[in-house]
Structure 1
Amino acid sequence: MTTYDLDKFKGVFVAMYSAYDEEGNVCTDRVKNLAKYYVNTGVEGLYVGGSSGEGVLQTVEERKKMLEAVMEAVGDQLKIIVHVGANSTKESIELAVHAEKCGADAISSIPAVYYRLSEDAVENHWQQMIDSTSLPFIIYNIPQTTGFNLTQTLFKKMAAQDKVIGVKMSGESVYELQQFKANAGKEFLVFNGPDEQYLGGRIMGADGGIGGTYGVMPELFCQLDEYFKQGEIEKAQELQAAINEIITRLLSFPSLYGATKAILQLRGVETGIPRSPMLPIKDTDWAEVEKLNGVIERLVAEHTNTAKK
């Protein structure tokens, strides 16, 4: 039985974007403004330094700077999960220790990328992070980018530890998500990763979700979660379908994060452009970005008003 308060991790967590200045350096003022933007949207918290946050493209010091700004801005208002995964275990431990020092609520990590590591190597990599702090640990399984698909054998071994409280399941199979829940028990947290199947993940046992596109439509994912909890499945299906159309359009730009950062810019939230090799939107894309932002804002108004009736 875990000694951690798991309820505070249930719900919608925004996988927070990076925020740079015009020279491409981490800008703490922009980080703080972005973090504050999410405070009154209904989300439970932020997932800092993950895929959407470009953590693997940043130095250790930049990642620390990002977290420190987030904690200063909203650490007492939102739950903060910090992705500390890096290619070297040494850097991952350094980031984990820093997260605990900053007052984060939990840490999380992918396996190291590039090298095709054995299960024993990945287990050792994660275990050293787990042992380096008193914080709860959330496994991040995203095989399509890391090349490592977490097996149920290793998962059950990791999940047996008190400190390991959950898994962010970003694989594409809700069956695997359901198996993680089944093999670890009802107390264990499972976060849906693929934004386009949030509802499917919740139906199959996920306790909430962590996602990148939440960052430009957090209210829609919170309302989707509310429809699910209220048993209004037809409304949830309708909203998930609308969200998926938005995601499809976001994926049509040179990069997803270039598009989401552009949408935030239209709303007065400056975050700069993605770090190379990821691409910003093209000058010719602005009209489409404005249309898409309009679609999101109309859906937010529509479903917020519907929920109040």
Structure 2
Amino acid sequence: MTLEKFKGIIPAFYACYDEAGEISEDRTKDLCNYLFEKGVKGLYVGGSSGECIYHNLEERKATLKYVAEAVKGRLTLIAHVGAPSTRDSVILAQYAEELGYDALSAIPPIYFSLPESSIYKYWTEIMESAELPFIIYNIPQTTGYNLSMNLFKRMLENKKVIGVKNSSMPAMDIERFKAAAGENFIVFNGPDEQYVAGRVIGADSGIGGTYAAMPELLLKAEEFVSTGNFEQARSIQRDINDIIIALCSLNGSMYSTIKEVLKLRGVNVGSVRGPLEPVHGEDLSKIAGIKELIDTAILKYSR
């Protein structure tokens, strides 16, 4: 299969709620169309940014369905199907395949500290349940497990494994995974704070939780890297990082801050689900300033 469809800016999709805090079909599709119009390559649906661990099975299936209805065939769609149980992960994998998703992805099992043999079995059972290609998701800061080279190489023996979304902070991990897997394999940069560094050291693409807040800037960063304009690439990464620091500076979850920013950008996707905390109090008055940071950076690089 061609891997070109997976190369580009792929925002991690946010959970979209109505005013009662339930999954909203209309708001999910609004966000899909907004990102499509911005020019992103695809969407990573149902991952950390999608608050997946706070959704039941039917809610996760609903989001997968609404996204597919909105942009299937127009954007590359990757379904994150990692769940606390293998059973639920398999159900989500099979449902994503029915909906026409382009690939599956999953974090390792969470909560219990499991041996690598269990992680391998978990990922393998997901892959065996559907015919879609599979993307490993390595995010040790939330799962407590950092993908080892031994397990990575073992996973590569399965031809369905086409990529790894690497969200560990050392950029060297990206280089090592790319060196081990070769060119016919996609390494996705995970940490948004190092998008440029990740691309330069070997990442083919990027999936990130702040992309949808400022897709114009990530698209421009990719343009600078892919054309070899590294001075501008370094400059835009500094501006992106200033924005990320601002997004993480308020009370509440970073995602609640992003969603407040999106409201000012014309897309209402609701708030966040507890125990994630919404932005509140005096911090609400700071949202406009963060939006201004984004707007100023967009203008700076559009000249």
User: If the TM-score is normalised by the length of the shorter chain, which range does it land in?
Assistant: over 0.9
1:247 to 237, 244, 249: 244
User: In structure 2, the residue corresponding to 1:130 is in which secondary structure?
Assistant: helix
Q: Please tell me the residue identity of whatever aligns with 1:187.
A: N
Select which of 261, 264, 272 maps to 1:266: 264
- TM-score normalised by L of structure 2: 0.98
Distance apart, 1:5 and its partner CA:
1.5
Q: Deviations over 1:216-251 (max 9, x none)?
A: 101100100110011100100000000000000111
1:40-98: CA deviations, max 9, x gaps?
21210000000001011101110110011111111121110010000100000000000
Match of 2:297 in 1: 299
* Deviation, structure 1 residue 266: 1.2
1:256 is matched with which residue: 230, 254, 257?
Answer: 254
What is the letter of the counterpart of residue 58 of structure 1?
Answer: H
Deviations 1:258-309 (A, max 9, x none): 100001111221111111000111132222110110110121122123xxxx
For the residues of structure 2 that align with 1:185 and 1:268, how far apart are their CA atoms? 42
Pair 1:199 & 2:205 matched: no
2:81 corresponds in structure 1 to: 84
- Whether the 8 Å contact between 1:159 and 1:166 is mirrored in structure 2 is no
Tell me the TM-score normalized by structure 1: 0.96
Which residue number corresponds to residue 22 of structure 2? Answer: 25
| Runs of 5+ consecutive residues of structure 2 not aligned to the other structure | none
Quick one: distance in 1 between partners of 2:202 and 2:39? 21
The answer on 1:67 being equivalent to 2:64 is yes
Larger CA deviation: 4-13 vs 135-144: 4-13
Corresponding residue of 1:122? 119
Measured in 1, the distance between the counterparts of 2:194 and 2:149 equals 21
CA distance in 2, matches of 1:258, 1:198: 22
> 2:141 is matched by which residue type in structure 1?
Q
Name the structure 1 match of 2:222: 225
- Equivalent residue pairs, number: 302
Give the aligned residue type for 1:245: D
Q: Secondary structure at the match of 2:302?
A: helix
Do the aligned partners of 1:17 and 1:53 also contact (CA within 8 Å) in 2? yes
| Contact residue 160 and residue 184 of structure 1 kept, 8 A | no
2:273 pairs, out of 271, 275, 281, with 275
Equivalent residue number for residue 97 of structure 2: 100
Q: CA deviation at 1:179?
A: 0.4
Distance 2:220 2:37 in 1: 13
Match of 2:212 among 215, 219, 223: 215
The counterpart of 2:34, out of the listed 32, 37, 43, is: 37
Looking at structure 2, the residues matched to 73 and 189 of structure 1 have their Cα atoms a distance apart, in angstroms, of: 25
Q: CA deviation at 1:178?
A: 0.6
Q: Percent identity?
A: 47
Over residues 184-227 of structure 1, what are the superposed CA-to-partner deviations in whole Å (9 max), with x where a residue is unaligned?
11111100000000001001100010001001101100100110
1:162 positional shift? 1.2
Indicate if the aligned counterparts of 1:15 and 1:52 stay in contact, CA closer than 8 A.
yes
- Asked if residue 147 in structure 1 is aligned to residue 176 in structure 2, the reply is no
Read off the aligned partner of 2:153 and give its amino acid letter: K
CA shift at 1:160, angstroms?
A: 2.3
Q: 3-state SS of the aligned residue for 1:20?
A: coil
Q: Where does residue 284 of structure 2 map in the other structure? A: 286
Superposition deviation, residue 9 in structure 1 = 0.2
What CA distance in whole angstroms lies between the structure 1 residues aligned with 2:156 and 2:287? Answer: 42
| 1:181 Cα offset (Å) | 0.5
| Superposition deviation, residue 127 in structure 1 | 0.2
Distance in 1 between residues matched to 2:216 and 2:162, nearest whole Å: 26
Task: Quote the residue 2:4 is aligned against.
Answer: 7
State how far apart, in whole Å, the 2-side matches of 1:304 and 1:42 are. 15
Give 5+ residue unaligned stretches, structure 1. none
Partners of 1:208 and 1:42 in 2: CA distance: 15
Instruction: Give the secondary-structure state (helix, strand or coil) at the position aligned to 2:88.
Output: helix
For 1:38, the aligned partner's letter is L
Which segments of structure 1 move beyond 6 Å, counting only runs of 4 or more? none
Residue pairs, 1:173-188, within 5 angstroms: 173-188=170-185
Give the Cα–Cα distance (whole angstroms) in 1 for the partners of residues 295 and 34 of structure 2: 15
Name the counterpart of 1:133.
Answer: 130
**In the aligned structure 2, how far is the partner of 1:247 from the partner of 1:208?**
19
